[in-house]
Amino acid sequence: MRIHRFVSRSFVLLIAPLISAQTTSLKPADTAQLAGYTVASSNSEHEWEKKFRDGVVSENVKENMRRLSARPHHVGSPYDKDNAEWILAKFKEWGFDAHIETFQVLFPTPKERVIELVEPTRFKAKLQEPAVPGDPTSGQTSEQLPTYNAYSIDGDVTAPLVYVNYGTREDYEQLDRLGVSVRGAIVIARYGAAWRGIKPKVAAEHGAIGCIIYSDPRDDGYFEGDDYPKGGWRPREGVQRGSVMDTDYPGDPLTPGIGATADAKRLPIKEARTITKIPVLPISYGDALPLLSALAGPVVPEAWRGGLPITYHVGPGPAKVHLKVASNWDLKPVYDVIATLRGAESPDQWVIRGNHHDAWVNGADDPVSGMSVVLEEARELGELHKQGWTPKRTIIYCAWDGEEPGLLGSTEWVEEHGNDLAQHAVAYINSDSNGRGFFHASGSHDLEKLMNDVAREINDPEKNISVWQRARLARIANAKTQEERDEIRKRSELRIGALGDGSDYTAFLDHAGVSAVNIGYGGENDADAYHSIYDDFYWYAHFMDTDFVYGRALAQTGGTTVMRLADADLLPYQYTGMADTIGRYVSELEKLLKQKQEEAKERDLELKEGVFSAVADPRKISVPPPKEVVPPYMNFAPLQNAVESLKKSAERYEAAASKAQSEGAPAISPQTLESINTNLLRIQQSFLSEKGLPERPWFKNQVYAPGAYTGYGAKPLAAVREYMDEKQWTRADSQVPNVAKTLEDGAAAINKVAEQLEAAEAPAH
Ligand SMILES: [Zn+2]
């Protein structure tokens, strides 16, 4: 998957200086004592990390990509397995102890696909991407997975067509104002704005019986830049494949919560809640144009217009469409490659790094631009090991299979190894597609300072300033208000975003409570061939990170993060920034309530004043919006108190950690440190609730979760927030104490470690 371009721009990182003001015992940044290290251990770590970064080679990233993207390699294909075996051999060659772990997952592949216009004229959609002359892999037709949306239910429907813009819930409110219903209709939505799986979900909720999703050239085609092969943007017949699995839980639809091993107990397909309710297919704008051109009805609102040379109408009809989807509903194997470099001192503490290796087709960008980097990191870490470096903790490199259909490989692995992860996992560092531009990171905020520290060490390959500095200045340039700019300049750490469910970190953070971060570079890609046959080596090497220098930068970033975590004396989590961020999430809930109250009051007033009927053009249909209940006040006090507890315990811990690392501090015994670190790595788990989110029990983390209606996008404090979005105020209010309780549990866990550290520091007599 990856976070798509539309989303990723808003995530452009947020990162900050190395040493926070209150830790006076630490040295200034240029002779930096690393967080979690003593002066002596910092020096040695600096040397090894520098050696690592100098040893990473762009050309290797490029050659890894050439090999991995040479043929189509989706789940169940011959080259998917071939790649897994090649990756396995490489890990072994570099000195890792490696194996392939296999799961059996439900993975539908297309059997029959039809989209045709049957009224007022006839047109049959091609549903086929043509090869491009000069692009050597675009013609590997026999191995290419046809254009489709995985986990669409089978169906055969014929109905009038309605254009629904991006197909979000807000778009349907707009349709109501236009007096247009989609009940019994087939909707056509454009890609973008929300995750694709939301489009058929919301369409079905509004009574539609089929869903077509197309790529409008305004969003990723000729409106943005020259299209392929002249430029890198999606051409006329280019189609975005992708999963439309619902967001109840990721992973194999038949084995929620448990590993999909060969003998696992499986749900019947009928009971799998994550398969869509209506059939859905993706198409190119070449195929969409005749359909959209045949629509009448109201002209769409200005914000709904795309880049096609037509007047966009909503419908319904006179266009009538026949949509048919049938899949082979087979179990397929996924091959996760797991490679271990055993730690010398604390082998039971695991630092985990991963990227997926499966693609929709050749997948040079998604995922191979990230996977090639992860391999180059592993090669160079193996090289350091030969030169005498052994990590203090165990390092595990993972190449996941089955990410594209629904985070299958990583989710099943996390579910299968949940107990081990709870005992041993320090953090999970993920990457996916990588490109040119700005460093970005999102993740759990206990890793925010670590990612700031690492980003300051990495040189931007095209600007000769640190990637941290570049990201910070970009944040200032893009800030919308003076207040935002002031905050960026004043705060020592650049903020990192929260994670939704766009890639393989999801099961780690949201289900198992493992601290996680997702990293990459982007924002300057003048190209987009996402999930099409054109996302291949030829395209990537011509239009993306053409000299692979940002691939090298990502390898330096990922490898440095892994080493920093693996070698630290005291695990470098930071909780003051995390408490600050959670405090902001609580303030956002308060703001949201106030805003909803004001909106409802204003709407009520305007309805009474007759505003809507007065401004409506009597020659057009315009329906006033429904009267809304003004939301009642909610009691956020338990959350506010819990945030105060978090802040206090975080400050206490930080003071103790800073003291422990100051020069002349009494040495803490290795046994005590081991125990402190083990307690530290479990803190993220205290934010889990066994019951999970009220409507989505698989999602255990009460701070971080994707939205049920945003998918890739995050909805922090989802148990409360999602009910607020649904306007279910009593339910939202009733969730406050539960969420506050997990925050209090987190504060107590931090306090306990602070106490342990203080006791260890007490001078021995
Ligand atoms: Zn991906």
pLDDT tens digits, one per residue of 325-340? 999 999 999 999 999 9
Report the C-alpha gap between 160 and 472 in whole angstroms.
Answer: 50
Which CA distances in Å does 479 have to 12, 193, 449, 482, 485? 11, 20, 21, 8, 6
Q: How many residues does the chain have?
A: 765
Long-range contacts for 672-675 (Cβ within 8 Å, ≥24 apart)? 672/756, 672/760, 673/569, 673/570, 673/760, 674/346, 675/756
Mean pLDDT score, 459-466 = 96
Q: Which residue has the higher pLDDT, 2 or 65?
A: 65
- Average pLDDT score over residue span 65-87: 98
Mean pLDDT computed over 533-551: 98
**Dist. CA 390–CA 566, nearest whole Å:** 10
Residue 683 Cα to ligand 1 midpoint, Å, equals: 29
Structure tokens at 89: 């051999």
Region 683-693 average pLDDT: 97
Residue with tokens 């979000």: 168
CA of 358 to the centre of ligand 1 (A): 8
pLDDT at 11: 34
Is the pLDDT reported for residue 275 higher than 90?
yes
What's the gap between Cα 573 and its chain centre? 21
For residue 606, what pLDDT is reported? 97
For the chain, percent of residues with pLDDT exceeding 90? 93
Q: How confident is the model at residue 764 (pLDDT cuts 50, 70, 90)?
A: low
CB neighbour list of residue 752: distance below 8 Å, 6 or more residues apart: 679
pLDDT digits (tens, 9 = 90+) for 326-383: 999 999 999 999 999 999 999 999 999 999 999 999 999 999 999 999 999 999 999 9
Query: Taking a C-beta distance cutoff of 8 angstroms, is the pair 546, 553 a contact?
Result: no
How far is the C-alpha of 700 from the C-alpha of 17, rounded, in Å? 32
What would the mean pLDDT of 624-648 be, rounded to a whole number? 97
For ligand 1, the distance from its centroid to the CA atom of residue 143, given in whole angstroms, is 19
The pLDDT value recorded for residue 709 is 87
Question: Which pLDDT does position 9 carry in this prediction?
Answer: 34
What predicted TM-score, i.e. pTM, was given to this entire model?
Answer: 0.95
Determine the distance separating the centroid of ligand 1 and the alpha carbon of 302, expressed in angstroms: 33
CA distance 540 to 68: 13
Report, as residue numbers or ranges, the catalytic residues: 403
User: Is the preceding peptide bond at 120 cis, omega within 30 degrees of 0?
Assistant: yes
pLDDT value of position 652: 98
Distance 503 CA to ligand 1 centre (A): 7
- Strand ranges for 289-345 from DSSP E: 320-341
pLDDT recorded at residue 21: 33
Say yes or no to pLDDT of 22 above 90.
Answer: no
More confident residue, 697 or 4: 697
Question: How far is ligand 1, taken at its centre, from the CA of residue 195, in Å?
Answer: 14
In this predicted structure, the answer to whether residue 208 has a pLDDT above a threshold of 70 is yes
Half-sphere exposure of 337 (CA within 13 A, CB side): 27
| Stretch 490-503: mean pLDDT | 94
H or E element at residue 583? helix 576-609
pLDDT average, residue stretch 117-132? 98
Q: Provide the mean pLDDT of the chain.
A: 94
Q: What is the pLDDT averaged over residues 274-290? A: 98
Cα–Cα–Cα angle for 738, 740, 741, nearest 5°? 65
Give 434 Cα–ligand 1 centroid separation in angstroms.
10
Q: State the distance from the centre of ligand 1 to the C-alpha of 368, rounded, in angstroms.
A: 8
pLDDT at 763: 65
